[in-house]
Amino acid sequence: MTDLTKMKIAEARDLMKAGELSSRELTEAHIAAVDAADSLNAYIVKTPEIALANADAADKKIKAGNQKGMTGIPVGIKDLFATKGVHTQACSHILDGFKPEYESTVTQNLWNDGAVMLGKLNMDEFAMGSSNETSYYGPVKNPWRATGSNNDFVPGGSSGGSVASVSGYAAMGATASDTGGSIRQPASFTGTFGMKPTYGRCSRYGMVAFASSLDQAGTITRDVRDGAIMLEAMAGFDPKDSTSVDIAVPNFEAALTGDIRGMKIGIPQEYHLAGMPGEIEALWHQGIEWMKAAGAEVVDINLPHTKYALPAYYIIAPAEASSNLARYDGVKYGLRDAPNGGNLDDMYYTTRASGFGDEVKRRIMIGTYVLSAGYYDAYYLKAQKVRQLIADDFKRAFEKVDAILTPTAPSAAFAFGEKSDDPLAMYLNDVFTVPASLAGLPGSSVPAGLSADGLPLGLQVLANAWDEETVLKISGVIEQAAAFSATPSEWWR
Amino acid sequence: MSDYRIQGATGDWEVVIGLEIHAQVTSNAKLFSGASTEFGAEPNSQVSLVDAAMPGMLPTINGECVRQAVRTGLAIGAEINKYSVFDRKNYFYADLPQGYQISQFKHPIVGHGTVTVDLESGGTKEIGVERIHLEQDAGKSMHDQHPQYTYVDLNRSGVALMEIVSDPDMRSPEEAGAYVTKIRTILRYIGSCDGNMEQGSMRADVNVSVRRVGDPLGTRCEIKNVNSVRFVRQAVEIEARRQVDIIEDGGTIDQETRLFDPVKAETRSMRSKEEAHDYRYFPDPDLLPLEFDDAFIEAARDSLPELPDAKKARFMEALGLNDYNASVLVAEQVSAAYFETLVTAVAKATGKSEADVAVKASNWLTCDLFGALNKAGISITETPVSAEQGAGLLALIEDGTISGRIAKDVFEIMFETGKDAADIVEEKGLKQVSDTGAIDAIIDEIIAANPGQLAQYRAGKDKLIGFFVGQVMKATQGQANPGVVNKLLKPKLDG
Amino acid sequence: MSNIDRATVAKIARLARIKIEDDKLEPLAGELNNIIGWVEQLSEVNTDNIEPMASVVDAKLRWRDDKVTDGNKAESVLKNAPNAEYGFFAVPKVIE
Ligand SMILES: [Mg+2]
Ligand SMILES: [Zn+2]
């Protein structure tokens, strides 16, 4: 019998529809795979009972002819998404023991379609990180290892658990979130397909906030079609989120025509970074060739403010975070660390000191500083102006091109500890992903090749707001052309 | 110009006052959540997960609160900003679950307006309103329930407030009090706030500074959450005196937040200077800018009732009321409404014009009815004598059925029993006697019984006619028509 | 140019209500200076006449109807509280 955990969502869906596979079988296989993948540390909480109940309900739905795209499909949920009655801590100690009395809209949409919850996935604390090393629950290991090596690599972040579970065959898909690259960069590091939709496409209701103006839910899957199927289930207008936009969700899977003839693909010249590894540059050129071969027209474009995206991001995101994370104060939920005989302020100081990890504290401090009296105009206001310029760059570009192609990350996965002592080196990982986040645009990372060490590399596809279909269509063409068939060695099983 | 001065040891000081009034917007649900705003519920029962700042919860705005803020702005002739922005005001407090208050900082919904306040001298003064913005209320902390703990109730958390910020235009405790009173009147007229200061639906932060007349502004202190007009006046007086004493002793005023203690009649510092606020305002990324069009503003304008100033002017110009009566009547919309119903009904019953009966009606209302209500300790909304019943009484006076004196007795019974004036007059036989035959006979009896007084009268002591009228009225238990009595008595006395 | 010293770090930490041990102030000041110094490259960008981005979505704020649709869930609200007594959140005493 085939290994059910290596099946794609679309295949499983079709087999279940044909009555040749039950969600129960599929789910049981995945529950076992989740256990087998313990050494990846992708799951921080497993919910096999919920999974089996979901699976049985899904099988009934399918029998009744009510199958939807995600019905019966076992998925993992990033710990950022509130799941009613189930551990939800954004992998922070400060939310110690928190079990929400509510469900995030994105996960509710999945459950409404009959998806199966395998458990909660590890992540960087409050999604602040690019290597999953800031999690209170310890780092996630990348299922991929360099050729001939037993050394561990980071899976990227912040959706490290999401990509490790999917590339490690411990989920068919996973929810993820992207603030500055937290879907695309880890997807690139793990040979998975990461899809970040337009800001406002997926509801933020019930998603623990990092930087509200940037946070956007998305998907990690093993291929583009699966991403289309899963995103369609998660997305949609939600009146509970004032930044959710009332635009109909298209049939994303239908966009995968493979036909990009005549489309214009922009190549932003500013993304040619000095000192970028040659293999990244080479992969990008390969991508350009694939586009041409598929009949698209490739044009050089300019996004002049690209260089300023990261610094703007590292003002805006920490500023919003410093405010969003003020609610973690030991009063209403989570950790309380109150010194004996201390007053309310003492409780705040110690609770927040012991509840937040170093990177989170660092960002709260930066955010507090840039918003504080006398600095607002020089930092926050300036950054929001630069952000507008960055958005305008894209706007102008999309008057000329249908999509933009770039590398996803400036390197392949790196070793643990390699950048964790140097915040700036870590931040630079998101150099290609942050600009589109600032502009709220949809983007993906498609597995496109291997590094010299045998680690996966991704290409990033960006399109105009609300044009996820173009992102998916082009991603599908890259996937076809790349015929990426490498797999990790399954050392963890 | 106010000539209110604080006499210091070194001379006179002027006080400068600006007010920030927090008024709870009248709405069923909170500003950013669907929880109820009703007062007095069980702790934490009117709290949504949004109000409790659960992770991932998001604000969505209540359109009615926007409408009420716009109506309030229109009522004070203010600029309405079709584009405004919600900002976060960041600070930590136990009853502030989000760790920030959603407020409006740079771009408020309402810009500059003006309020005309009525002063005790009879004059008026224009007070500028710098802005009105929408914001969330905080929860409530209780410090006296437990030796180690403060208890927090989030029922108020997220209730919509309008913060109405005045210009520093007031110069005396009276003006500050009159301003609060006027704002309250306007809010109650248009229904954007119930103005209930006891329940905290309206409270004022009072900014006070002192200076020599003509000098630039002094350093101000903000006295937080003063919750009655009387306390506003007291707080100004006490704080101004404190500041003068400090300055005259060679000290300087620290800009700080203070608390008014009405029991100890003092203000005291709330936070140490070291904790100087740094609210780190920035636009709330969970919300988009608030925008609406002219049609929305015009619809809000059309929904406004006649406002107190316009009503007062009409009462004076069209109905001939004096300033005092007009002011008293428009102070509360229910009083004004009572008056208008009363005047219409009296005019209808007597066939006279409203202008002809309005002054008497206003006198009766402000003296008799308000006096009785006051004595009984009840408000006009609970009056046992309706406007229609009051009109019944006034009509009986107007058409001569009863005298003004009898009317007082009839009103007393009406107030106690709630009965109609006509029924009481009928039952008790209080109709004025205008029958000349009956009065004639009584006059004759009285003249006969008082020969001494008659002689004095005839000897030139004209004033004694009053004695004889009094005797006749007494004999008829006040029911004799005084006009008829006078007419008949004079020739008889004159012989 | 940024010059975040110990005192500044202490002040920010106080605003953010995060306790930082004395011996951590100096290293943290260094880290923050690094990051702030780096973001200051934004000053190179000419932003004259540029409006700061108000929202990345091109939409107007939607309004809710004034209906009571929530509440009456004190139990849910208090369920995760580290300390709740008599229906209230209980916190270490605030002295005013
Ligand atoms: Mg204030
Ligand atoms: Zn306020």
A296-317: pLDDT as tens digits: 999 999 999 999 999 999 999 9
Confidence of residue A422 (pLDDT cuts 50, 70, 90): confident
Confidence of residue B272 (pLDDT cuts 50, 70, 90): low
Residue B271 has pLDDT above 80, yes or no: no
pLDDT at site B273? 45
pLDDT in tens, B335-380: 999 999 999 999 999 999 999 999 999 999 999 999 999 999 999 9
B147 touches chain A (CB under 8 A): no
Count of other CB atoms within 10 angstroms of residue B309: 18
Q: Which residues of C touch B (CB under 8 A)?
A: 15, 17, 54-55, 57, 59-74, 76-78, 83, 85-96
Question: How confident is the model over B124-130, as a mean pLDDT?
Answer: 97
Give the chain C residue whose CA is nearest to the CA of A425.
C35
Q: What percent of chain A has pLDDT over 70?
A: 100
Q: How far is the CA of B184 from the centre of ligand 2 (A)?
A: 17
- Which are the contacts of B224, defined by CB distance < 8 A and separation ≥ 6? B205, B257, B258, B259, B260, B270
Residue B473 has pLDDT above 80, yes or no: yes
Question: How confident is the model over A309-330, as a mean pLDDT?
Answer: 98
- Which are the contacts of B110, defined by CB distance < 8 A and separation ≥ 6? B69, B70, B72, B73, B78, B79, B80, B81, B131, B132, B133
Report if residue C35 sits inside a domain: yes
pLDDT in tens, A54-100: 999 999 999 999 999 999 999 999 999 999 999 999 999 999 999 99
Confidence of residue B494 (pLDDT cuts 50, 70, 90): confident
- List chains adjacent to chain C, taking adjacency as at least 3 C-beta pairs closer than 8 Å: A, B
CA A135 to centroid of chain Cα atoms = 15
How close B56 comes to chain A (CA, Å)?
4
Contact A230, A472 (CB under 8 A): no
For the full predicted model, state whether its pTM sits above 0.95: no
How many residues make up chain C in this entry? 96
**What residue ranges do the domains of chain A occupy?**
4-262+478-482
Residue B208 has pLDDT above 70, yes or no: yes
- 3-class DSSP state of A26: helix
pLDDT at site A310? 97
Question: How confident is the model over A460-478, as a mean pLDDT?
Answer: 98
Catalytic residue status for A242: no
For residues A137-162, one letter each, b for 16 or more C-beta atoms within 10 angstroms of the residue's C-beta and e for the rest, the string is bebbbbbbbbeeeeebbbbbbbbbbb
Domains present along chain B, CATH in parentheses: 6-301 (no CATH), 308-428 (no CATH), 436-494 (1.10.10.410)
In one-letter notation, the amino acid at residue A433 is T
Structural domains of chain C, count: 1
pLDDT in tens, B44-58: 999 999 999 999 999
pLDDT in tens, A3-46: 999 999 999 999 999 999 999 999 999 999 999 999 999 999 99
Confidence of residue B475 (pLDDT cuts 50, 70, 90): confident
Q: How far is the CA of B137 from the centre of ligand 2 (A)?
A: 8
Q: What percent of chain A has pLDDT over 90?
A: 96
Q: Looking at the domain A4-262+478-482, which fold is it?
A: Amidase signature (AS) enzymes (3.90.1300)
Question: How confident is the model over A243-258, as a mean pLDDT?
Answer: 97
Q: Which member of A182, A322, A411, A445 is catalytic?
A: A182
Residue A484 has pLDDT above 60, yes or no: yes
pLDDT at site A441? 98
Residue with tokens 């009105």: B132
pLDDT in tens, C18-51: 999 999 999 999 999 999 999 999 999 999 999 9
* Residue C25 belongs to domain spanning: 6-42
What are the CA-CA distances from residue A113 to residues A73, B7, B287 (Å)?
A: 10, 78, 29
Report if residue C71 sits inside a domain: no
- 3-class DSSP state of B293: coil
C41 touches chain A (CB under 8 A): yes
Confidence of residue B108 (pLDDT cuts 50, 70, 90): very high
In one-letter notation, the amino acid at residue A10 is A
pLDDT in tens, B406-454: 899 999 999 999 999 999 988 887 777 777 778 888 888 999 899 998 8
Confidence of residue B268 (pLDDT cuts 50, 70, 90): very high
Catalytic residue status for A473: no
Contact A378, C36 (CB under 8 A): no
Give the chain C residue whose CA is nearest to the CA of B48.
C71
What span, in angstroms and rounded, lies between the C-alpha atoms of A104 and A125?
Answer: 18
pLDDT at site B81? 98
Q: Which of C11, C22, C39 best probes binding to A when mutated, by most A CB atoms within 10 angstroms?
A: C39
For the sheet containing B149-153, what is the strand order?
B140-142, B149-153, C88-92, C84-85
pLDDT at site A421? 85
Does this complex have an ipTM over 0.90?
yes
The reply to whether residue B54 touches residue A333, judged by beta carbons under 8 angstroms, is yes
Question: How confident is the model over B178-194, as a mean pLDDT?
Answer: 97
Confidence of residue B275 (pLDDT cuts 50, 70, 90): low
pLDDT at site B405? 83
- Which are the contacts of B363, defined by CB distance < 8 A and separation ≥ 6? B325
How close B136 comes to chain C (CA, Å)?
15
Residue B274 has pLDDT above 60, yes or no: no
- Phi, psi at residue A351, to the nearest 5°? -60, -45
Q: B202 forms bridges with which residues in the sheet? A: B23
> B53's torsion region: left (phi>0), alpha (psi -120 to 50) or beta?
left
Question: How confident is the model over A146-167, as a mean pLDDT?
Answer: 97
The mean of the pLDDT values for chain B is: 93
The mean of the pLDDT values for chain A is: 97
The alpha helices in A419-491, defined as continuous H runs, are 423-427, 434-439, 468-482
pLDDT at site B478? 78
- Which are the contacts of B341, defined by CB distance < 8 A and separation ≥ 6? B387, B388, B391
Catalytic residue status for A158: yes
Considering only CB atoms, which chain A residues are within 8 Å of C28? 362, 365
Q: How far is the CA of B135 from the centre of ligand 2 (A)?
A: 7
H helix count then E strand count, chain A: 15, 11
Q: Which of A242, A322, A351, A365 best probes binding to B when mutated, by most B CB atoms within 10 angstroms?
A: A242
Residue A387 has pLDDT above 70, yes or no: yes
How close A4 comes to chain B (CA, Å)?
34
Element spanning A31, H or E: helix A23-36
Report if residue C89 sits inside a domain: no
